[in-house]
Amino acid sequence: MLKMYKEEDLETCTKIYVEAFNAPPLCYDFLTIEKAGRYLRDLTRKPGFIGYTYREDEEMIAFIFGILDNYFEGTMFEVDELAVVPHLHRSGVGSAVMHLLETKLAGYGVSAVNLNTSRGLPAFDFYIKNGYEEIPENVTLVKWLRDFV
């Protein structure tokens, strides 16, 4: 069952996030509860934030966080984070969360769901399998500022 995120869910979401991203295949062992907690708390405070938790038998097993934004094409939801407890990876839970989210957002008049990921990560194949299309003309650019610090 998909439920609206509440502030008291942050601790459980943080634990799920750290477990999910520190587990294979990503193994982000640099991700701590403190770093993840700060990141997710900041995300929940951004204008347009919407979050949902996914529960089975009242136990939270996944969440999805993102931002509603108005564009020329209409209102879009940008997925920032989706995390599922590791023992349920590849079980269909993530797909169920995405489908429920899309259904809810369409009912609110949201015209599209947008997200960023990297080719080669399992998330890329997951989103393609769930009907998302790569927009080849979009490019992400970054300039690391290590040389200036």
Say what the pLDDT of residue 149 is.
61
Q: What is this structure's pTM?
A: 0.91
Whether 146 has a pLDDT exceeding 90, the answer reads no
73-101 pLDDT tens trace: 899 999 999 999 999 999 999 999 999 99
- Could you tell me the residue ranges of all domains in the chain? 2-148
3-state secondary structure of 50: strand
Q: Please enumerate in sequence order all residues whose Cβ is within 8 A of that of 26, keeping only pairs 6 or more positions apart, or say none.
A: 121, 122
3-state secondary structure of 95: helix
Which of 15-19, 42-46, 133-137 is predicted least confidently? 133-137
Measured distance CA(19)–CA(83) in Å, rounded:
9
Residue 55 Cα distances to 52, 95, 100, angstroms: 10, 14, 12
User: Which ranges in 1-149 belong to alpha helices (H)?
Assistant: 10-22, 33-44, 93-107, 122-129
Whether 113 has a pLDDT exceeding 70, the answer reads yes
Whether 148 has a pLDDT exceeding 80, the answer reads no
Say what the pLDDT of residue 65 is.
98
Q: How many other C-beta atoms lie within 10 A of the C-beta of residue 108? A: 10
Say what the pLDDT of residue 83 is.
97
| Strand 74-84, strand 112-115: pairing | parallel
Whether 31 has a pLDDT exceeding 70, the answer reads yes
Measured distance CA(69)–CA(48) in Å, rounded:
7
Average pLDDT over residues 20-46: 93
Whether 141 has a pLDDT exceeding 90, the answer reads no
CATH architecture of 2-148: 3-Layer(aba) Sandwich (3.40)
